[in-house]
A and B are shown apart, each in its own frame.
Chain A
Amino acid sequence: MTHLPDTVTKPTTSNHTLIWYGLGLIALLAAPFLFYPVFLVKLLCFALFACAFNLLLGSCGLLSFGHAAFFGAAGYVAGHAAKEWGLPFELAILCGTASAAVLGFLFGYVSVRRSGLQFAMITLALAQLIYFLAWQLPFTHAEDGLSAIPRGKVLGLFDLDNIMVLYYTTAAIFLFGFIAMHRMTNSTFGQLLRAIRDNEPRAISLGYEVNRYKLMAFVLSATFAGLAGSTKAIALKIAALTDVHWATSGSVILMTLLGGLGTLLGPVVGAGVVQAIEDHLSSLPADFAVFGLFRLPPITAIIGAIFIICILLFRRGIVGEIQHWLDRRSGK
């Protein structure tokens, strides 16, 4: 057992957080000069999506297996609003995000009473329902999806077809979402969520209606997933079935765990790694044989392998391990 000093010891507030913030901001501003901007736009959308997922799993301990539903459905709605209703960029994004919030409320209302595997299964089942609807409803155009969605202009002034305008607009949306979610985890509400995650029966015995708090967290997480999905649909001009597919839900879990669950930058780093791998491997053949036995798309196989290695070697995820290492060095 560790020996504790019998004095009032304040936790050392981590200066790392500030350094991380600064580095992150510089990276965000400089990135389009170093990498292909469209790749970065996609990355930022998935990073925001992963942060939204992390908001629920990290602060509430709820593992949703259906987050693609919010991401994808919001994309369809935003795309439809921009293309068919001719709404401007901002309103289209708002429509998509709001639809994810409503969907989040419905999903959450049904699922937050459950926990663990049951919760994961219910969210998966509901997301499959959305996938089915995306197949069947006329406005989603089944396998074709929505394509050639017009991007429009930011504030009616800056043409989003200019790649740099597109990048910095996406970066601004990402930054807004990131900071907003960070504030939420450090809000009066976030504090109660942590308590509920740590010990739900105890929170109940103190008089808290824990399911209402979880529902609120679920809706917020779905809303930001929707913001990510809406932005992605308009920025990349497409909304397709893959966005609502369960594999996308799996992918966001992977990004979060790979980067570091419950860490600030983990989901962003995880999204970057997964996107970079997918981008590099997209030139490989469509599938290949494993030991001559069964065939797998290489992206799935390689990402799966990386995931297994990472989980075995760094259980805290990439950012989690780095933070742990820094804390240990500064601690002793």
Chain B
Amino acid sequence: MITVTIDGKNQPTTYPKIKTVLQLLNNLHLRVNDALIIRDGELLTPDRHLWPGDHVTVRMVVSRG
């Protein structure tokens, strides 16, 4: 189970089956360069593995006006 916080939203979501960053992006309908994927203060490329217990932050890059 991994926990995902999307920047600006309060409630984290949990995903039981996701194993890579790419799977997470696909699940959120995001393209590779739509968001920064952050784990423990580190940026992750789409091929990186996610492990049970990971907490990931998704930061959308499009500026908000």
Partners in one complex: no
